[in-house]
Structures are given as structure tokens and as C-alpha cells.
Chains A and B, each alone.
Chain A
């Protein structure tokens, strides 16, 4: 389990720059939103889930997430077919906040081309640099405000 500047970012997961995460088990890829996203967004009040059997491309918007009065995007970290969605979220969206890597998972994709696509996602040092850059930009904006 990695702690990057106070954000819980488990080592074994892959991360998209739009804050979705991917847990790879064979060709099944479980997808959710990372700890950085849930802490920055605050309470998630609605998750607009896609339909099962829909095909998605890596980087494509496949769902919407409302926190307060903001509607953000769920971006597919890999390409493939959506084979499962977390129906528990229809009853309790707070799972995304409470347990973003466990009960707050959002969907499962049967991946098409992990060999070429996983390299586009972040892990390890690249993830640390990404979080650093996000935080640095925030500090710069605050300083310039």
C-alpha cells in the first residue's frame, strides 16, 4: 500500500491521469476512482453507470460522477467490453468515498489489449511525479490568487 503525499494509492493498481484506477486479474480489469479523486471531490452523490455489454476505448468517458453540484467523468483506463457494474452504488454512492479500492469499485471491463495499453497507465515513480505535479499546480494557483 503506497501513501503518496497523504493519498492512498495501492502499488498493485494502474492509474489513469483522469483518476480512474485499474486492477488487472487476467483479462478482467476492475475499475474505480482513486483516493486523490474522492478526497478532492468530497461526497459522491450520484454515479451514472453505463450499461453492461457496452464497448469502451481506453480514455473514453464511460460514466459520470456527481459530487456536490459538480459532474465529473469516469474515464475507462483500458479498452474492452463492460461485463459487470457495481449495482450497490445505485443505493449507496458513499462507497466510492468510504472504500474506493474495495466496495466502491465501479465496473469491470473484459480487456482487449492489455499488452499495449497498460504502458499508457501510471504506476510507481510516474504516479508520484503525477501527484506531485497536481499538488504543485494547486500551490501555484493559491500563491497567485
Chain B
């Protein structure tokens, strides 16, 4: 008999930031403590933005602009950076035990196996995506989905994804507080060259329901299960309400000060390849975001691969060098080498200022 998973599906109306995140936090709890089968939660948010568990929300966002535009802001329980959500961004939460058959082992294995499901889902609607180790899905070098996760009670974990069906880059540049978004690179906002959406890739107005349908079929294929649409039971409803109260309506959670210092730096060096300009956002000793730009010859795909190798890794010299070398191929940036690129990143780190 084919095992079943539960499906909490809520795409007929966008949900509030508090409700969506509280339901997600309940998923691993229910798997661990309420004897539930794995639960897949597919939904969309009202226009909102959330930061990673250990981000400084006041450094990450322009809260005055969020308030002026009616954009709800919150802090999620999984790792990573700022995520802008809305009615055209598919939100996915999955509560599952980490030893569930078919799920890869360890942090990398879990991300990779769940990425493969999403790649299959995108294939079903005609998009060829790939897993950009370790945390993003890309189409031809442009990010289309971000992934994050956290371990839960016992063996359980919560996996989060945001998949861009449509995306408002102007909103992003207005409400995010990092100077990175102000970079203009040869007339294009740097984010429009680093991100894409389902509709842009397909060149048609695909519905959110069609995208979530493909995700459901991909999960069923990959794990050989059937999804059964369901609602939270009494135990889960009570837990959801508790999370809303304790976390998502609680300023102490949203404005938690348990996070590393946020800093920003710009580094410029002249190299044989041309001028290299690096924009770096640091979160404590880690690189939260990096943009590599300048007048060198390369492709967007290669530049993004290098940037991605550095995101959410240590900002130590040895780590930067090692992570760049792990993806480096000859002439990724024509005429440049790993030590020179490392030196440029370190120059940005040396120029860091408190955000």
C-alpha cells in the first residue's frame, strides 16, 4: 500500500506572515510529537518579508518603508537571509523526519534531495533548473528559489522554500536595507541579472495553482507516496495559535537581538582582468551576501556561481579561498585567479562599516 503524506494547501487566499510561519513551525512538531505522517504545506503569503532566524531585522530591512507600504515583516525559524513573499511566490513548508527513506543524509544530502524534487516540479512545467550547492535553485545562473531548514524536535526537521512565480524587484530594492540593492551595473539593477521567475522563464502567465500542482506530483513521484489534502487537527491548531502568540505576534521574537553584528563593505582592486568591485554584507564572521562586479569578461552564470560559493560561509581568508577554489574553472572570469579574487573580497571585508 502506498504510504500517504498530509497536504495542507492554502492557495485560494494569501495567508498572514504570522499564520504561514506558525503553521510551518507546527509541521515538525506534529511529526515528532503528534504521530503525524510527513506534512507538506503549500501556500502563499500576503505581501510580506521575513528574515532568517539569526539575522538583524533592523539592519536587514528599512522598516519605515515596510510600514509605509503595508508590508508585514517577521522572523522565521529557519536559517538564511531575507525573503520577500507575496501572492505570486509559492511558499513551501515540509515537516519530516531526517531519516525518512529517500531523504539524503546530513545537511547537504537533505538539501540536495529536496532540491531534486523541486527541479522535477519545474521540469513538469517546462523549466530546466539546477541545484546550486548548497542552498539555491537556479535557471541559467539566475536564482528562482531559495531553500532553508532547521532541525526540529527529535528526528524531525522543517524545510522551507520560496519559489518565485512573479517577483517585484522594485519592492525589494525599496524595503531592503542593504546598500547592495543600490548597485547599478551597466544600467541593470544587479538583482534583475541574478534572479528569475517562473513566468519570465516560461514567457506566459502560469497560475500559482499550476505550479503547486507540479510540486505535489513531484513529491509523490520522488517519495513514492500519495498526498492527502488535510486540515490541522485540534492538537496542531492549538500549537499554531501558541506559535502565533509566542513568536509571530511577539516583538521579542521579531526583534530578537540574539544575532551577530551586521556590516557592509566595498572593495575595489585593479587586476589584469580589469577593475574588480566587491560588495559584501557580513553577519558576524560570516558572509551573508556578496556581489562581484567590475569591467571584466565573464558570464552572469559564472559570476553567480562564485558569489553563491561564498554566501553563508566564513569570511576568513582560508575559507574564502577554499570556497572559491571549490567551484573555480579556468577563465570563469577571464584573466583572473582565485588569489586575486580572494584579495578583492578581503579588501571589501577590511572596509566594512556597521549597517
- Collect the chain B residues with CB atoms within 8 Å of residue A97's CB: 314
Q: Is the CB of B134 within 8 A of A94?
A: no
Q: Within the complex, which residue of A71, A92, A144 is in contact with B151, where a contact is CB–CB below 8 Å?
A: A71
Q: In the assembly, what is the distance between CA of A69 and CA of B285, in Å?
A: 15
Please report which residues of chain B, range 93-152, place their CB below 8 angstroms from some CB of chain A when the two chains form the complex: 99, 101-111, 113, 116, 134-135, 146-151
Q: Is the CB of B105 within 8 A of A138?
A: yes
Q: Is the CB of A68 within 8 A of B79?
A: yes
B192 interface residue per 8 A CB criterion: no
Q: Within the complex, which residue of A42, A93, A145 is in contact with B107, where a contact is CB–CB below 8 Å?
A: A42
Q: Is the CB of B107 within 8 A of A46?
A: no
Q: In the assembly, what is the distance between CA of A70 and CA of B258, in Å?
A: 17
Q: In the assembly, what is the distance between CA of A142 and CA of B103, in Å?
A: 10
Shortest CB-to-CB span from B116 to chain A, Å, is 8
Shortest CB-to-CB span from A62 to chain B, Å, is 14
- Collect the chain A residues with CB atoms within 8 Å of residue B99's CB: 137
Shortest CB-to-CB span from A36 to chain B, Å, is 9
- Collect the chain A residues with CB atoms within 8 Å of residue B259's CB: 46
B349 interface residue per 8 A CB criterion: no
Shortest CB-to-CB span from B40 to chain A, Å, is 19
B286 interface residue per 8 A CB criterion: yes
Chain A interface residue count, CB cutoff 8 Å, equals 30
B319 interface residue per 8 A CB criterion: yes
Q: Within the complex, which residue of B79, B108, B111 is in contact with A66, where a contact is CB–CB below 8 Å?
A: B79
- Collect the chain B residues with CB atoms within 8 Å of residue A91's CB: 284-285
B182 interface residue per 8 A CB criterion: no
B219 interface residue per 8 A CB criterion: no
Chain B minimum-CB-distance residue to A41: B107
B30 interface residue per 8 A CB criterion: no
Shortest CB-to-CB span from A60 to chain B, Å, is 11
Q: Within the complex, which residue of A41, A45, A69 is in contact with B284, where a contact is CB–CB below 8 Å?
A: A45
- Collect the chain A residues with CB atoms within 8 Å of residue B286's CB: 43, 45-46, 93
Q: In the assembly, what is the distance between CA of A90 and CA of B259, in Å?
A: 9
Shortest CB-to-CB span from A92 to chain B, Å, is 6
- Collect the chain B residues with CB atoms within 8 Å of residue A42's CB: 107-108, 134, 313
- Collect the chain A residues with CB atoms within 8 Å of residue B113's CB: 141, 145
* B interface residues, Cβ below 8 angstroms from A: 52-54, 77-81, 99, 101-111, 113, 116, 134-135, 146-151, 258-260, 283-286, 312-314, 316, 319, 323
